[in-house]
Each structure stands twice: as C-alpha cells, then as structure tokens.
Amino acid sequence: MTRKIQQVKFSELVPCRTAFIDTHNPGTEGKENFTIIGGGVSENPEQYVHIKETPGFNIGGARQPAGCTNSLHSHRTAEVFIIHSGSWRMFWGLEGNDGAVVLNPGDLISLPTHMFRGFENVTPVNATNETGSGFIFSVLGGDDSGGGVVWAPEVLEEASNHGLTLLESGQLVNTREGEEIPEGIPPVTPVSKTGLSFHSRNTITDASKFVVKRPAEWVHRETELIGRSSNAVIRERPGFEVRRVQWGNGDEIPWRVSNLDTVLISNTGSVVLSGGEALGPGDVALIQAGEEEIDVKPLPGGASELFTVIGTDDPAGETRLLDGGAK
C-alpha cells in the first residue's frame, strides 16, 4: 500500500506573531513562531497548524531578527533545536546565567526538561541579511508537547504590563485589544519558590553532552544524533530519535526511510524521494508508517543535509539520559 506523504514547503509556512505570553515584552519584538506538525506549545488558539496529526512528537519553528530573544521558560518534555539559518545563543538557568552556547546552521541541541532556558538570535547583520534573520526547527516530545511551558515569574509579570494574561487552560488573553478573561478560567499563577526548584532542578555544566555540531567536511554519512543505541551521540530516551544524513557534492547514495512514521527536515540543499517528491531547503515531510520502500537521494548541485525524526516506544516526559544525567 502506498504510504501517505504530507509536505510543508518552507516558502509556504504561516507565521504567528502572537504565539506566546512574552509577545510584547521588551527584546522579543519581531518573533515569528510556526506550528508545522502538531500545535506544539503555542498559547494562541488561532495559530495555523500545517499538519494536525502527530507521530508522538511535534515539529515547530521560530524565525527571529538579530537581537530578538525568546524568554526564560521550562518544558515538561524534550525540546530539541536544529539550526536552519543564522547564529543562535542558547542560555539556561533560573536567571538565564548558568551557561550558554552559540549554535550555527546544522548544529543540534537537546535541552533537558525542568530547566529554564531561553534563546537569542545573534546573527551578524550585513548587506545580504539586513535584519540578521535566522530560523530554527524544534522537536517537542509527546503528542501534546507536555501540555505547554512553565514561564519564569518575571516573564508573566512583564507581560501583564502589556495587557497579556495566560489562562490555566493555556489560552492567551489580550485585554488591550478588548478581549475579556472568561468566567471560570483563572489566570496562570506565577510559579512559587517551591515550584521554581521543581522546574529548574536540571542544568547543563558540560554543553558538549547536549550539543552536536555540524561536521566540517561534507561527505556522505548517516549519524544517530539522539537515540538509545550505543552509536548515538546523545544517548537519551525522549520518545523519539533524531538522525542526520549528509551528502557531499556529487554523492548519489540513497537513504532508506524507516517503515515507521518518519519526519524529514531538509536543512540544506535539496533531496528527492523515490516517488518524485522533492524537498528543498527548509521543507518538511511527514511520511506515514507502512511497508512501501521509500528512498531519498540528493539532487545535483551541491551538498545536502537531511534530519530525520522517528518516534519510539519510550513515553514522552522527563529527560532520561543513558550516559549519566543532567548535571
């Protein structure tokens, strides 16, 4: 039986500029969020979801100009970032000063659950990129992405100064635009000191254990970046595994798609599936599980990089490292 393939073209992504409570907080101006597969952790019920069905995880994206920051928050399930374009500074800790790392295109980071984190676009502004725009993909564990994020108290306080209130239902209300808080649905209460300890009980002291950089040499290779096997660079059980497939200029070796539900993220260059479906830079495809054999090959004209995400039978939830833990 032919496997169903759903594609989302990068050029057709629909942004949401009011996805989160920190929309109007200073330093967050110009942020665009995308729900590509699943609704992710968006707090705006009107955000457009490109593919609503989820394979045990969600795929999202963010585009920001240089200097734009995503405020401190904590997740209940895995959050993995894949850098598509630009340079990004990831930082973490209750006040955002426990540590930081700068990532570039092709790099990946897996951020532990129950750890406050934020990120900033630090892409240089130049004649070809006047705003320093950059784009990152995210992989969030679970079909419901853990039910939303936990914001640092100061983020909620600042947002209230701009008329924004987050409800316990996960809905965002903008009172400055005439929206009213519905009866019976209370606003989110800022995390208490005890709660802060719970939601910030993990941290990162050695970023190399959570980051995989893009190799300098472009040759054909397949690398298990996140997974349970002994070959995985980051050995953990987030409910999915992530692989990177690369081809150098002129390589034509095909890569076989898993028979399980599989997401393909074409990060660099272009590839073509055996059925003729082409994926350009930034395009995403969800391939339904099935017995049909599907191969992927690079299109001529340069190097190509493909990230693949496949769900596992591990439940989504707290970070479960196989080589130690978040320290």
Q: What is the value of pTM for the model shown?
A: 0.95
**Residue 326 confidence class, pLDDT cut points 50, 70, 90:** very low
Residues 200 and 304 in one domain: no
Q: Is the pLDDT of residue 327 over 50?
A: no
Q: How far is Cα 221 from Cα 165, in angstroms, rounded to an integer?
A: 47
Distances (CA, A) of 191 to 96, 151, 154, 188, 248: 16, 8, 10, 9, 49
Q: What is the pLDDT of residue 171?
A: 86
Residue 95 lies in a domain: yes
- Give the residues across from 150 on adjacent strands: 74
Amino acid at 77: T
Report, as an integer, the average pLDDT of 189-194. 89
Q: Where are the alpha helices (DSSP H) in the chain?
A: 153-160, 193-199
**Amino acid of residue 166:** L
pLDDT value of residue 325: 44
Least trusted range by pLDDT, from 96-110, 155-169, 258-272: 155-169
Domain count, the chain: 2
Range of the domain at 295: 215-311
327 found inside a domain: no
Pair of tokens at residue 183: 């009866």
Residue type, 208: S
State whether 179 and 229 are in the same domain.
no
Mean pLDDT over each residue of the chain, to the nearest integer: 95
Query: Stretch 33-57: mean pLDDT, rounded?
Result: 96
